Amino acid sequence: MEFCPDCKSIMVPTEGMLVCRRCGRKVEMTRGDRHISKTEQKERLMTVIEDCEAAGLPTTKSRCPECGNDIAYWWLRQLRSADESEVRFFRCTKCDFTWREYD
């Protein structure tokens, strides 16, 4: 990232030149300057797995209040203010019933 020698603002690469957004000063880019424009960036491919909502969640031994199953997925969420503890959520691996525990 280059900064303008006059106003110290960020200079943007444009057509082989670095151009200051604030004052408009132009400086020729040297060979050592490496700037990646948005057109040069490669697109990333994102894979979304919709097969099972709980895929990837850890499991624990916890009794489901609905069906009595002993294994449940679990995760934590901060629902209240930051100075209070997180809430533990559980989802039964058998019947998908979800419940929570507070500290």
Residues with a known catalytic role: 83-84
DSSP state, residue 3:
B
Helix (H, G, I), strand (E, B) or coil at 12: strand
DSSP state, residue 89:
E
First to last CA, the chain: 48
Chain center to CA of 27: 36
DSSP state, residue 99:
E
d(CA 17, CA 11): 9
